Every structure is written in C-alpha cells, then in structure tokens.
Amino acid sequence: MKNNQVNSMNLIDKIQRHGIAGSAKIALYKLKSKSGYTKWQFRHAPVYANPTPAELEQIEQGLLALGIELQDYAPPPVEFHTFKTQDWFPPDYHGGLNSGVWDEKLLEHWISSEKLGVMHYGPQDIYVDVAAAGSTWAQAMRVRKNINAYAIDLCEIGKAYRHLDYYRVENATATTFADSSVSGASLHCAYEMFMGQDDTKLIQELARILKPGGKVVILPLYMHTHYCAYSTPEYFGKGYSDPAAKEYVRLDCRGVPTSRKYNPLKLKERVLEPILAAGLRYKLSVLRNKNEFGKGIYCHFILEIEK
C-alpha cells in the first residue's frame, strides 16, 4: 500500500474516532507542541514532575508517621512474564510495545487480577473494570474465562464496543449494579481522575455494590510529598483540580482535566478514613521489585479495599 493511501486511511480513522472538530483540535495541539508554542505559553506555570525515589521514601515515612501500615509486595516476575505471552491485549494497546508504557499497563492488569483472584471467578461472579475507556480487558475476561465482566466509563464507549451491552457509559459513583452483587473490581491508572468529591463518593458506592468478601484494587495509587494535581494545557487553570491541591501543568500529553496526587494526610482524610467509616477495610502495599518487570515501571503504591 502506498504512503498516501496509508495516510488517508489514518486520517479517516482519526475522524471516525474523534469527529472532525476533535481531530482538528488534536492536529492543532500537535502543531503547537512541535512549534514550541505550548511550552512558551505556559513558561511561567509550574510544570509537574513525578516523585523521585527519595521523595517516595519520604511519602512512605509520612504514611507510617500517621499510623498507616504499609505492606511490602514483591510478586514473582516469572509469572508476570508468562502473563505477557498470553496475548490478553492487542499489539496496539496504549501505543503498543514501543510506547514506553506497555509493560506498566500489562503489569497493572496482572497485579489486579492476582490480588482479586479474578482468573478463578465463575460465570456467577461480577467483575467490573472501572473507568475502562476502550480497554479490551472486560471482553477478554468474558470470551476467554467466561467471567461475568463489565467495563464502565463516564465517556462514550469506543466504536468497537458500543454493540456490547457489558460496556456501559456509567458514573462509577452511582452505578446500576445491584446491592451486594459485585465480586471484584479494579481501577487501572484511573482513580486519580475522579474530580471533586468523587474519590470519596466512589468509596460509598463500593460499600453498596460489593458482596461480603468482595474486593477492589486501585493501582497505581498516585501520591506525592504534597497534595497536588496536574492538568494538561487545555484544562490548566480552569478550575478542574481541587482548590486545596497545588495545580501543575503537564506539557507532554493532552486530554486530562485533572490528575490528583495525595499526600499522606489527604489520603487518610479523603480515602482511608471514609473506607473505614463505610464498614470496609483496606490494605496499602508498596511494589518493591518494580525493576524486575520491564521498562518504565512506575507503579509504587497499591490500594486494596475489601468488604
């Protein structure tokens, strides 16, 4: 196929996925980024940086000082590498093998499935992939494991999944699942996007829908030395982040209204205390052997919530 034909097909695919206006916005954003305009436009704004290893240690000490117990977690890498060979995701998932996040994204799903025991669920067990966007995970659970899996997200489901009734546009803080009906759920790189009071409201909804013994895994649980959030340029400074959080801009991506990072005290106030108040219990783990799982692994804190 000639290059101009490939380019035409790529353009048509983008328009189908994002619409004409959406595709134009993406093209304009890329043009501004390449020209350096975006960097110049936000030259006086604080730019977000992930916590360093030393800062992660500082966060751990802050948690311990508040009486929050941390569990060391070092799962066997050989089992993860077996999982990677089983083709649970298409080769273009999150940009594919060369995206820099391939190992991280697969690791998140493997860890959550291990901690939930989801591979041992039966057809009577409801599993929910929360804030799933266009992930194939729920479909794979159904087709390959006969699990009663669902994917929910606030945004419109991608074209490839709209015909599947188990891919639903739903607010995770007010779902249509029956009381005490869900065996397990997971949030992969998603909880930090819950705006306003929705991070706390999710805890209340989990208390309602989980079966006794049901569990939810949240990973990575994003934290920092101070309570903060970042927004991408089109949302920065427009009130999407919690006013109590220091707002940063992130210039290397787009489409994020706000991404929350707890400090130890805010995690306790907004998440851990509401968990206990709702009659649930939690376990907070730290992934200790991240360097053994591939390139670019950044998962550090993992939160488990159980009824």
Written as tens digits, the pLDDT of the chain (307 aa) is: 434 433 333 433 433 444 444 444 544 455 455 556 678 888 889 999 999 999 999 999 999 999 999 999 999 999 999 999 999 999 988 888 888 899 999 999 999 999 999 999 999 999 999 999 889 999 999 999 999 999 999 987 777 888 899 999 999 999 999 999 999 999 999 999 999 999 999 999 999 999 999 999 999 999 999 999 999 999 999 999 999 999 999 999 889 999 999 999 999 999 999 999 999 999 999 999 999 999 899 999 999 999 9
Nearest to 112 by CA among 192, 219, 223: 219
Whole-angstrom distance, CA of residue 258 vs CA of residue 251: 13
Q: What crossing angle do the helices spanning 77-84 and 102-116 adopt, rounded to 10°?
A: 110
Whole-angstrom distance, CA of residue 277 vs CA of residue 77: 36
Query: How far are the Cα atoms of 30, 249, 298, 303 from residue 258, in angstroms, in the given order?
Result: 20, 9, 19, 20
SS (H, E, C) 202-237: HHHHHHHHEEEEEEEEEECCCECCCCEEEECCCCCC
Q: What are phi and psi of 173, to 5 degrees?
A: -85, -5
Whole-angstrom distance, CA of residue 282 vs CA of residue 267: 12
Q: Residue 282 in contact with residue 207, Cβ under 8 Å?
A: no
- The pLDDT of residue 32 is 53
Tokens at 206, concatenated: 């989990």
Q: Residue 62 in contact with residue 284, Cβ under 8 Å?
A: no
- The pLDDT of residue 50 is 97
Q: Which residues contact 83 (CB under 8 A, 6 or more apart)?
A: 106, 110
**Torsional sign, CA 264, 282, 167, 8:** positive
Whole-angstrom distance, CA of residue 35 vs CA of residue 200: 40
β-strand partners of 167: 151
Tokens at 33, concatenated: 């980024």
- The pLDDT of residue 246 is 98
Nearest to 129 by CA among 141, 119, 117: 141
- The pLDDT of residue 44 is 87
Structural domains of the chain in order of their starting residue, each with its CATH number: 1-35 (no CATH), 36-306 (3.40.50.150)
Decide: pTM greater than 0.75: yes
Tokens at 261, concatenated: 């990072």
- The pLDDT of residue 27 is 47
- The pLDDT of residue 41 is 85
241: buried, middle or exposed (CB in 10 Å: 19+, 13-18, 0-12)? buried
Whole-angstrom distance, CA of residue 157 vs CA of residue 13: 16
- The pLDDT of residue 33 is 53
